[in-house]
């Protein structure tokens, strides 16, 4: 387990800067698609719907990475105040995933259920993406402090471990959706792998420390 860094104070500007930085890519994606479709601009090249889908999908994975980075940053840099923004980042990941799905459903297949069924049969990665969305829904609905109190800390933490599954599904969805260039999904797989490995290592070390403490305690046999 890494030695805890001395705690540091939260910069006064951080809350507002984080909110603006998280909103900007989502607002840009929506505004660019609207402008390209309604005014004939080329912010998203010749296929704004597909480009908008890809942009929002990439935003989802980036927000998931940032959410997973909160814990190591807290422990390694002493940014304990960052913990309160983990749920904020998770909600932005959910918002971008919902926008990604709505772009596909409303603009791409235009709620044509026949076309949707055809896509699901020919492109199984769409079902994987939908599974990720469904798994993220209970996490978004239980992101409030009131939900944590109702569930209890232990049950809430167990539920929110679904984020690991969601990250894996997101990478698989991305990998299956690309034609040739696998650099994007492989990069995300590497980043998530490192973040998962950090959690495994810290859990294992904490377990070892707890076992050592129990062995030397007065009541140990």
Q: Which of 157, 170, 23, 165 is nearest to 88 (CA)?
A: 23
Query: Does 139 map to a domain?
Result: yes
Which residues neighbour 100 within 8 Å (Cβ) at sequence distance 6 or greater?
Answer: 53, 56, 57, 59, 60, 129
Query: Does 208 map to a domain?
Result: no
* pLDDT class of 221 with cuts at 50, 70, 90: very low
Q: With beta carbons less than 8 A apart as the criterion, state whether 151 and 139 touch.
A: no
* pLDDT class of 179 with cuts at 50, 70, 90: confident
Which residues neighbour 92 within 8 Å (Cβ) at sequence distance 6 or greater?
Answer: 22, 26, 63
Task: Report yes or no on whether pTM surpasses 0.95.
Answer: no
SS3 content of the chain, % helix, strand, coil (to 5): 80, 0, 20
Q: With beta carbons less than 8 A apart as the criterion, state whether 170 and 192 touch.
A: no
Query: Does 131 map to a domain?
Result: yes
For 67-78, write each residue's pLDDT tens digit.
999 999 999 999
- Biggest CA–CA distance in the chain, Å, is 77
Instruction: Please count the structural domains in the chain.
Output: 1
Q: Which stretch of 1-15, 29-43, 132-146 has the lowest confidence by average pLDDT?
A: 1-15
Chain mean pLDDT for the chain: 91
Asked whether residue 168 carries a pLDDT value surpassing 50, the answer given is yes
Which residues neighbour 68 within 8 Å (Cβ) at sequence distance 6 or greater?
Answer: 163, 167, 192, 195
What is the chain's Cα-based Rg?
Answer: 21
Query: Does 34 map to a domain?
Result: yes
Query: Does 122 map to a domain?
Result: yes
Q: Would you give the DSSP letter of residue 55?
A: H
Measured distance CA(4)–CA(107) in Å, rounded: 49
Q: Which domain holds residue 23?
A: 14-203
Query: Does 78 map to a domain?
Result: yes
Query: Does 212 map to a domain?
Result: no
Asked whether residue 112 carries a pLDDT value surpassing 90, the answer given is no
Kindly state the average pLDDT of the residues 105-124: 88
Instruction: Identify the pLDDT of residue 82.
Output: 95
Kindly state the average pLDDT of the residues 184-201: 96
Which residues neighbour 174 within 8 Å (Cβ) at sequence distance 6 or greater?
Answer: 57, 61, 184, 185, 188
Per residue, the 3-state secondary structure of 116-185, as one string, reads HHHHHHHCHHHHHHHHHHHHHHHHHHCCCHHHHHHHCHHHHHHHHCHHHHHHHHHHHHHHHHCCCCCHHH
Angle between helices 86-102 and 124-141 (to 10 degrees): 140
Instruction: Identify the pLDDT of residue 117.
Output: 85
Query: Does 56 map to a domain?
Result: yes
């Amino acid at each position: 387990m890494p030695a805890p860094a001395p705690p540091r104070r939260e910069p006064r500007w951080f809350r507002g800067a984080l909110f603006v930085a998280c909103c900007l890519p989502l607002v840009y994606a929506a505004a660019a698609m609207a402008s390209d479709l309604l005014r004939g601009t080329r912010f998203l090249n010749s296929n704004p719907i597909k480009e908008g889908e890809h942009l929002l999908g990439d935003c989802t994975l980036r927000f998931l990475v940032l959410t997973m980075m909160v814990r190591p940053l807290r422990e390694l840099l002493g940014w304990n105040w960052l913990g309160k923004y983990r749920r904020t980042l998770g909600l932005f990941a959910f918002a971008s995933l919902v926008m990604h799905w709505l772009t596909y459903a409303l603009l791409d297949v235009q709620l044509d259920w026949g076309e949707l069924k055809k896509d699901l049969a020919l492109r199984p990665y769409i079902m994987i993406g939908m599974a990720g969305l469904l798994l993220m829904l209970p996490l978004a609905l239980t992101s409030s402090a009131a939900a944590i109190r109702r569930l209890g800390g232990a049950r809430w933490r167990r539920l929110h471990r679904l984020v690991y599954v969601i990250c894996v599904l997101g990478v698989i969805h991305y990998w299956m959706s690309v034609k040739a260039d696998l650099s994007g999904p492989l990069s995300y797989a590497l980043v998530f792998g490192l973040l998962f490995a950090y959690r495994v290592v810290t859990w294992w070390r904490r377990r070892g420390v707890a076992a050592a403490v129990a062995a030397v305690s007065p009541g140990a046999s």
